[in-house]
Structure 1
Amino acid sequence: MQDSWSDIRNTTVIAGSVHTGEKSYFISAIDTSTNRTADYCAALTRDTMKIAVESFGCNVTAVVTDNERKMDCIRENLKEDNPSLTAYGCSSHWLTRCHTISSH
């Protein structure tokens, strides 16, 4: 799982975690204020996936991110690397966005 956000000083952070099907584990949180590109963030996601494989002996079969445009690009990049990977946006973010759009 990958998520990003900005703090009150507009410092952006991207955090990665893994869910084994039984439990979630925090992997990392990285300040991305100096590099916010989709390619850089995709590399961070790949790093998180590698750590998950090495640390938990699991196969990464899916990735979920929020629905920000950059995260859409990250999912597309990851699917290019591994077409069998399931990559999708966060349902909670998606539902919030759909509700906001339909309310206008």
Structure 2
Amino acid sequence: MANQIEIAKLHYEISQMRAQLFQHKKWGSEPELDNDAWRGQAKSTHDDIRRHMQLAYTNVQDETEQLMRAIEIETRRLQTTIASCQIVIDTKQQSLQTLKAAK
């Protein structure tokens, strides 16, 4: 249950970060100067920086989503392992009680 709460919290935080990222991404793609002001090397350098920023934002988002999927898969695997261990424990306790009752 605590894992599910933590996962929900992380999903919320990622959603908040995506909203902030969208605002920053929008700001990064809108020049403050009009097209006539951007010429030559300065325009090329600025456009290169923007492309690199956009690529970095996209990569971070993709990597974060992959990590979240991996965490969810691992959480389910661990929950299955815990349930399996609990069944073994319950079975052994039942066997122990049966042996004690037989004495």
TM-score normalised by the chain length of structure 2: 0.24
Structure number with greater Rg is 2
Higher helix share: 2
TM-score, L = length of structure 1: 0.24
| Higher relative contact order (Cα pairs below 8 Å, separated by 6+ residues) | 2
